[in-house]
Amino acid sequence: MPKAIRIDAYGGPENMQLVDVAVGDPGPGEIRIRHQAAGLNFIDVYQRTGLYPLPLPLNLGMEGAGIVEAVGEGVTHLKPGDRAAYASNPPGSYSEARVMPAKNVVRLPDGIDFETGAAMMLKGLTAQYLLRRVKPVEGLEPGDHVLFHAAAGGVGLIACQWAKALGLQLIGTAGSAAKCELAKAHGAAHVIDYSKEDFAARVKEITGGKGVKVVYDSVGKDTFDKGLECLRPFGLMVCFGNASGPVPPVNPGMLAAKGSLYLTRQTLFTHIATREATQQMADELFAVVGDGRVKIRIDQRYPLAEAAQAHRDLEARKTTGCTVFTMPG
């Protein structure tokens, strides 16, 4: 039987067990996929701890790549034998094989290997919507400054490169000098070590006192308040994660006091709600990866059985770029 990583209760990485799972035939709108690799994402931690509660027992993982083995009724965009990759609900990609909805699964271009496919879908589609679909009211033009937290992480290094390709001046924050160097080498115009420097003061300095048009904040609790200080009038705070913990409730009056700011909390899953949108976003991602504007950097690989260690390392801020799980077979 195929193996999968499952939790029976919310909690620490020690709850993650490698178990045998029965994988049947796909129903209408579903496929069966045999994974060649799966991707690690911070959302897997939120689901494991119960910050984002889902029914238990829960097979973890939202990102993977592999070969389509069977397609259910009504699935026309995939066929058995296709190379495919996805970011998708429900979780279950930390597995050798699974049955899943076909909607968010796309064909993987021949030039992109399975590990890259497994690493890039959730993180790359996130960078796509953040930079291409979520816009400040005054628009985003080449030369504009934006602030991107955790710039040396999985989403971060993709965003650094994509922002550069769009002509944006991305100011990246990261938690060490080495991580800052990595972000800079991947296209960040400026970097700030927010473990040592006051990032709001540095952003003011870099932008000549004006501030940035957009702050992309996936760190949450530790960076939110100071991030608002970095915005220019009518600027946009895009919250999209809680690596340091969720942002406490916000008083809207403060947005007025700081310059009629805009605040949004985004999730990829609204953007990929339809197959058409998923395909269009994936096509853009495949284009920038295909022509080398964005390189998918895989800095960590773990056998599937060691998924718990991967979670420990991610939560301890030991990882950079993307992390993938290799399959036992």
Residues of this chain that interact with ligand NAP (CB under 6 A) are 41-43, 122-123, 126, 150, 152-156, 174-175, 179, 218-219, 222, 240-241, 243-244, 266-268, 314-315, 317, 319
**C-beta of 317: minimal distance to ligand NAP in Å?**
4
Residue, CB closest to ligand NAP: 153
CB of 158 to ligand NAP, least distance (A): 8
Cα dihedral 207, 210, 215, 221 sign: positive
Pick between residue 68 and residue 322 the one whose CB is nearest to ligand NAP.
Answer: 322
Q: Considering the complex, what minimum distance in angstroms separates the CB of residue 289 from ligand NAP?
A: 16
**Contact at 8 Å (CB) between 322 and 123?**
yes
In angstroms, the CA 30 to CA 177 distance is: 45
Q: Based on CB atoms, which residue is closest to ligand NAP, 79 or 133?
A: 133
**What secondary structure does DSSP assign to 71-110, as a single string?**
E-TT--S--TT-EEEEE-SSP--SBSEEEEESTTEEEPPT
Task: Find the Cα–Cα–Cα–Cα dihedral 123, 128, 130, 135, rounded to 10°.
Answer: 180
Q: Closest separation between CB of residue 119 and ligand NAP, Å?
A: 10
Displacement of CA 100 from its chain's centroid (Å): 20
Q: State CA 167 to chain mean position distance.
A: 22
Cβ-based nearer residue to ligand NAP, 33 or 219: 219
Least separation in angstroms between residue 226's CB and ligand NAP is 13
Give 178 or 287: the residue with its C-beta nearer to ligand NAP: 178
120's tokens: 């890039």
What is the closest distance, in whole angstroms, from the C-beta atom of residue 321 to ligand NAP in the complex? 7
Closest by CA position to 195, among listed 163, 218, 219, 161: 219
Closest CA to 68 of 34, 25, 108: 34
Nearer to ligand NAP, 300 or 326 (CB): 300
Nearer to ligand NAP, 75 or 88 (CB): 88
